[in-house]
A and B are shown apart, each in its own frame.
Chain A
Amino acid sequence: MPHMADPELKSKIEELIAANPVLLFMKGTPDMPRCGFSMRVVQVLDQVDVDYGAIDVLPALQPLREVTAEISDWQTFPQLYVNGELLGGCDIVEEMFESGELAEALGVEQPETASVPETAPPAQSPPLQIE
């Protein structure tokens, strides 16, 4: 059986999801994504020009996996929440961006040049920092 999520962390995360209309759980930060998939979601959000909150999951990866597994039945990051619901990870966000569904879900105008760079390699992360 998977480990039960930490109840305190879970309620904290639930509060954050409720308080932030657009909230991204990602590896790294918007300024310095540490995973190619997280970077691609940041690029999409920058293009739709929406304000969003971002949480770096790396400092507590496993506890946060357990929490999101319970909240949304989803364990991989990035995860984009819109109005309290999990919209999706990188695949879904990019697909919905290109189709215009993302702008609609966010209540913003679809940018005129909505395209995802085709050549983006799957996991070109910035080099890991030594901490």
Chain B
Amino acid sequence: MAADLAELTGMIEAALPGAAVEVIDETGTGDHLRATVSAPQFEGLSRIDQHRLVKAAVKERFNDGTIHALSVKTSVPG
């Protein structure tokens, strides 16, 4: 089953209100998804904790096997 990029984006936005989120499929095969997330909630958190928040938001899609890998790039809105 192909990953629904809009759904993933929506899941991250719902978990982190106010975040700017972009999810792209780098290879067009669904194997290399990349999420770029800028969220005010990241302020003061270590990068690993920022990534944990993003991964937790889409956990369901990992668990059901829709996605296998998600590269994450986070930032605090400047």
Contact = CB atoms under 8 A, between A and B. Distances in A.
- Are A and B part of the same complex? yes
Interface of A: 73-74, 76, 86-89, 91-92, 95-96, 122
Given A87-B47, A92-B48, 14 more contacts: A73-B52, A74-B48, A76-B69, A87-B48, A88-B47, A88-B48, A88-B51, A91-B51, A91-B71, A91-B73, A92-B47, A122-B26, A122-B27, A122-B32
Interface of B: 26-27, 32, 47-48, 51-52, 69, 71-73
A91 B71 CA distance: 7
Task: Tell me the dominant secondary structure on chain B's binding face.
Answer: mixed
A92 B73 CA distance: 8
Nearest to B56: A73
B39 to A, nearest CB: 16
Contacts of B32: 122
Nearest to B48: A88
Nearest to B34: A91
16 contacts: A73-B52, A74-B48, A74-B52, A86-B48, A87-B47, A87-B48, A88-B47, A88-B48, A91-B51, A91-B71, A91-B73, A92-B48, A95-B73, A96-B47, A122-B27, A122-B32
A87 B48 CA distance: 6
Contacts of B73: 91, 95
Contacts of A76: 69
A89 B69 CA distance: 12
Question: Which of B48, B51, B71 has the most CB atoms of chain A within a 10 A radius of its CB?
Answer: B48
